A and B are shown apart, each in its own frame.
Chain A
Amino acid sequence: MDRDLLRQSLNFHGPSLLSLLRSEQQDNPHFRSLLGSVADPARGPPGQQQFPGRKERRVDNIEIQKFISKKADLLFALSWKSDAPTTAEVSEDNDGVFSLKIVAFWFNSTLMKQNTELLLVILLLIFSDYYAVMPPLEQFMEIPTMDRRELFFRDIERGDIVIGRISSIREFGFFMVLICLGSGIMRDISHLEITALCPLRDVPSISNHGDPLSYYQTGDIIRAGIKDIDRYHEKLAVSLYSSSLPPHLSGIKLGVISSEELPLYYRKSVELNSNSLESYENIMQSSLGFVNPGVVEFLLGKLGIDESNPPSLMRGLQSKNFSEDDFASALRKKQSASWALKCVKIGVDYFKVGRHVDAMNEYNKALEIDKQNVEALVARGALYATKGSLNKAIEDFELALENCPTHRNARKYLCQTLVERGGQLEEEEKFLNAESYYKKALALDETFKDAEDALQKLHVYMQKKRRKSTSSSSSVSSADESLSSSSSSSSSGHRRHKKHKRNRSESSRSSKRHSAKASSNQIDQNKKDECFPVPANTSASFLNQKQEVEKLLEKQDRLPYQKKQVKEKDKCSFSSSSVEIPDDFGGRSEDPRDFYDSYKTQAGSSRTEKPYKSERHFSSRRDSSDSFYRNSEDKVKMYGYRRFEKDTEGRKEHYRKWEPGSTRHATSPASSDYSWKSGEKYKKSTYSGSRDLSRHEQRYQLNKNQGEYEREGNYEEDIKTEIQGEGLNSKDHSEGGVKKNLPQNLLNIFNQIAAFEKEKGNKPKN
């Protein structure tokens, strides 16, 4: 309860309001104590005696008094106070910089979402006023000079800015006659003949020597800050140092100003003086600021009225009583969440019957409706995981957990997927990354046995491997071991050389990856997906595989060089930090994108029956493609496991080829990308250590609850066959880029392989 305010009102209205208040607000504890004390004989009577005349004059306003007494609890509530607009009053000054600031603020707050055509108006306003600046009210009211002068000296404060003309210069300072005010209250003082003294010590010297006053002349317009006020003798002292101003005005320059810098209100006041018939309304209506579409927002801010919490004296409209849950945004959120959930349910139903594309559509719809819908994220993650897009699955699960850290399924699935991804990485020889995945899974769920087991196995394996590599045995027992140990004689200088070369050829993108690789952690893995440019036509993957083969052949012609490369490569696969080289070139990102794109193409080509079909034909297709692998591998088998390294070189070769030509640049990253993928694939298919088989089994058990979980390798093939049609279509395009650099005989081999594959790929479909 604002007692001072209530007292002021009571003084104004007299005892009749007091008695009304007593009867109206007797239930209000705040008022009872307050009115009791006011009613005390010691304090009550002065209030009543003070304004007997007023009371008489306002007998007619009993209605208003009733109103006040009824609404007193709201009217005099402390929370009713407006935010004191201390900084807003500065805005009277029409300095360009200042109005720019205001307009910028105004622009940010109100206009960003609105019409851009208003921008023009804003620009206009920068050069004029943002609201209708009016001549002072007293000019219309025709108040006698005496009263104005009295009120000026009552209301002027230290720190106010005044503007005046120098009337005389003495040795102790100069006198100026005030013409207007630059901050605080905007009054019409030009005819009041108010003089102010600016003492010599408050005049900053312009040059190092000489009299600072010599800079000023009689008649100069001076802007100065009020330093001292003698209200009784009506004397003012001003200063030209900005230290005389309050902090929020300290940016304003004091001293001589031009007539253009005079405040707008003063210029309007001068205009009014020359045409005293102009009415307030006319001046207001003709002002550009009045039609400013943002004038209401601006003035609300200036007057300290908060629109986000609109004031009302209606009891039912006290917005502080409104529940946040009833607001539109909260309701919409709730509604969207339940809508999204509905979509997820439909999607899950689709999923159960194996209509994965439809399920994905529903999940995506759900996420479109409600971006952060945890259920949709978990469901989509599960679908991704089922489809082998483990990175995407992990992303979704992680986002779901972020939004709802207690979601049990999200946690469970994330653990499982992390372990699965770890297993994948292990196969790809990215042991450190695999380890980090396992560790992450364990961090999520300490009791997750599979992660623990996998981590242990990995550690054992890594130790074994390390021992082997140090002994530099040349015996080859399994694919990965051969990779790491087939050749270990190259020097570290070689490696550096190779890295350097890579840097050069790959341009800035690779260097980014390079540094990321150094950390060789799991974040790096995730990022990689984004780093990679999505090939123009991803369905060309098969083709590029072939291209790779052909490049391998090409490479054999250059054995001497190749050998060196192989050595380098082998050396690299040794040390843990450079084990990841092949991975850097796309092995990692293949799965999600592969899946995603095939998913898209599927959806786009309206072959909705596809999923069923491909499932049906699954086993046969797998066989055939396996055999394909075997066949095509035969070509390179004699070189043992070194085809992997050749791939590296192939890529390299490739890079070198397109390095100078910027036109070929566009297609090449894609193909090099895919060369890597194919390399990986080869490896995978030949990769048959018992270690992995057990892991696979384990993994598939985990995901049984997700429905039919296919071996991810199979899935890739699945996609392959599905997209083969597209792949063939785009062959010409992709081939075109390569052809130029290929000898004719290689091309023939290439085409043969393509034909073979085409046959194979189409078989399951037909």
Chain B
Amino acid sequence: MEASGPGTCGGGAETRGSEGRLAPESRVHFRVTRFIMEAGIKLGMRSIPIATACTIYHKFFCEINLDAYDPYLVAMSSLYLAGKVEEQHLRTRDIINVSNRYFHPGSDPLELDSRFWEIRDSIVQCELLVLRVLRFQVSFQHPHKYLLHYLVSLKNWLNRYSWQRTPVSVTAWALLQDSYHGGLCLRFRAQHIAVAVIHLALQAYGVEVPAEAEAEKPWWQLIVPPRPGMRFHVFSEDLTKPTIDNIVSDLIQIYTMDTEIP
């Protein structure tokens, strides 16, 4: 499942206010996805299940008004569901414990009483709701796999010392993971996001792809193929510099929230 094109939903560029400030909704989503990621790390989840949880969350609130459901409950259910989808099963008890600790820092774990079971029930019920809203389509094609393959290809082309010195892989991975704070994953193709985060990582460290100037085409244009149905010779039109710039700019926008939101 990948988003078919930009501008469908998921906050981000189109929700930006006139002064470049982000709409309050995306700030809420930022906070909740922050919660998803933090809880995911504390639950020992790998990056892809966390990404799936965020995607489920964003997709849910594409369809549903933010006021309709408690976003944190949806987030907890998304974590639970993502664990199932990505074969890294979580236990609701752990999710509740971690979440409870997140909302009440330093507090003792909940007792396993009726209140606990009520929370558990609501998570499971909400999971069903999420599933129905998403029409049971909860398996996503994430940029992670593409990103890693692109990185391996680049690594072989770059000078190995320059590669070792520069943490491009780690930065690109971090950028990609952070991108899930917004709805980028819904508005762009996985391959494009992968290229964009590498692009930004290379830029951040001032790394140049060797002989890029001499090459017939930039590296990213060769990596990303024509869209299905398009003819081969126009494939360069699929991923254009503006597309990359859009993704990068959206990504940077997400980071501005990091400083704005405590």
Contact = CB atoms under 8 A, between A and B. Distances in A.
Nearest to A132: B149
B109 A186 contact: no
B259 interface: yes
Given A5-B205, A9-B206, A141 B222 contact: yes
Interface in B102-161: 102, 105, 108-112, 144-146, 148-149, 151-157, 159-160
Given A134-B153, A138-B211, A335-B112, A313 B175 contact: yes
A281 B255 contact: no
Interface in A549-580: none
Interface in A34-55: none
A301 B109 CA distance: 35
Q: How large is the interface on A (under 10, 10 to 19, 20 to 34, 35 or more residues)?
A: 35 or more
Given A70-B255, A299-B149, A63 B41 contact: no
B174 to A, nearest CB: 4
B216 A141 contact: yes
Contacts of A184: 160
Nearest to B162: A8
B60 interface: no
Given A71-B255, A312-B174, A317-B34, A280 B160 contact: no
A172 to B, nearest CB: 32
Given A141-B222, A185-B160, A312-B178, A296 B167 contact: no
Central interface residue in A185, A311, A319, by most chain B CB within 10 Å = A311
B166 interface: yes
Interface in A133-183: 134, 136-138, 140-144, 147-148, 151, 154-155, 157
Given A13-B206, A279-B226, A305-B173, A63 B248 contact: yes
B13 to A, nearest CB: 13
Contacts of B160: 155, 157, 184-185
Contacts of A310: 41, 47, 50, 173-174, 177
Interface in B199-213: 200, 203-208, 210-212
Contacts of B146: 284
B8 interface: no
B235 A279 contact: yes
B169 A12 contact: no
Nearest to A118: B87
Interface string B156-188: 110110001111011101110110010000000
A147 B210 CA distance: 9
Contact of A82 (B156, B170, B204): B170
A66 B252 contact: yes
A9 B201 CA distance: 11
A250 interface: no
Contacts, number: 242
A29 interface: no
A115 interface: yes
Nearest to B224: A281
Interface stretch (B21-29, B63-71, B90-98): B90-98
B111 A131 contact: no
A335 B97 CA distance: 9
A493 interface: no
A280 B222 contact: yes
B85 interface: no
Contact of A134 (B42, B105, B152, B248): B152
Contact of B43 (A9, A305, A328): A328
Contact of A305 (B94, B156, B169): B169
A281 B232 contact: no
A84 B164 contact: yes
Contacts of B245: 60
A110 B218 CA distance: 36
A142 to B, nearest CB: 4
B237 interface: no
Nearest to B50: A310
A331 B211 contact: no
Contacts of B225: 279-282
A67 B255 contact: yes
Give the interface SS of chain A, mostly helix, strand, loop or mixed: helix
B223 A280 contact: yes
A335 B94 CA distance: 10
B219 interface: yes
Given A63-B249, A302-B152, A307-B46, A143 B211 contact: yes
Central interface residue in B101, B149, B171, B223, by most chain A CB within 10 Å = B149
A295 interface: yes
A141 B222 CA distance: 6
A313 B180 CA distance: 12
Central interface residue in A184, A290, A312, by most chain B CB within 10 Å = A312
A327 B216 contact: no
A332 B93 contact: yes
Nearest to B210: A151
A75 B41 contact: no
Contacts of B73: none
A310 B217 CA distance: 33
B147 to A, nearest CB: 9
A303 B152 contact: yes
A147 B214 contact: yes
A335 B107 CA distance: 11
A304 B102 CA distance: 30
Contacts of A342: 111
Nearest to B245: A60
Contacts of A300: 148, 173
Nearest to A7: B206
B42 A9 contact: no
A460 interface: no
Nearest to B48: A296
A157 to B, nearest CB: 7
B2 interface: no
A114 interface: yes
Nearest to B93: A332
A11 interface: yes
A80 B97 contact: no
A314 B181 contact: yes
B78 interface: no
B225 to A, nearest CB: 3
B169 A142 contact: no
Given A115-B87, A296-B144, A138 B157 contact: yes
B9 interface: no
A187 interface: yes
A10 interface: yes
A295 B145 contact: yes
A604 interface: no
A90 to B, nearest CB: 13
A557 B235 CA distance: 105
Central interface residue in A71, A141, A144, by most chain B CB within 10 Å = A141
A204 to B, nearest CB: 29
Given A136-B157, A307-B46, A64 B252 contact: yes
Nearest to B37: A317
Contacts of B108: 334, 338
Nearest to A148: B211
A81 interface: yes
A91 B50 CA distance: 28
9 nearest interchain CB pairs? A12-B206, A281-B225, A335-B109, A299-B148, A140-B222, A311-B174, A331-B97, A328-B94, A142-B216
24 contacts: A8-B166, A13-B206, A66-B252, A71-B204, A80-B171, A82-B169, A137-B153, A137-B156, A137-B222, A137-B223, A141-B211, A141-B215, A141-B216, A141-B218, A157-B160, A187-B156, A280-B223, A281-B224, A297-B46, A299-B148, A312-B174, A313-B178, A326-B98, A327-B44
Given A310-B173, A335-B93, 7 more contacts: A8-B206, A9-B206, A81-B170, A82-B169, A137-B157, A296-B46, A312-B178
Interface of B: 34, 37-38, 41-44, 46-48, 50, 87, 93-95, 97-98, 101-102, 105, 108-112, 144-146, 148-149, 151-157, 159-160, 164-167, 169-171, 173-175, 177-178, 181, 191, 200, 203-208, 210-212, 214-219, 222-226, 232, 235, 245, 248-249, 252, 255, 258-259
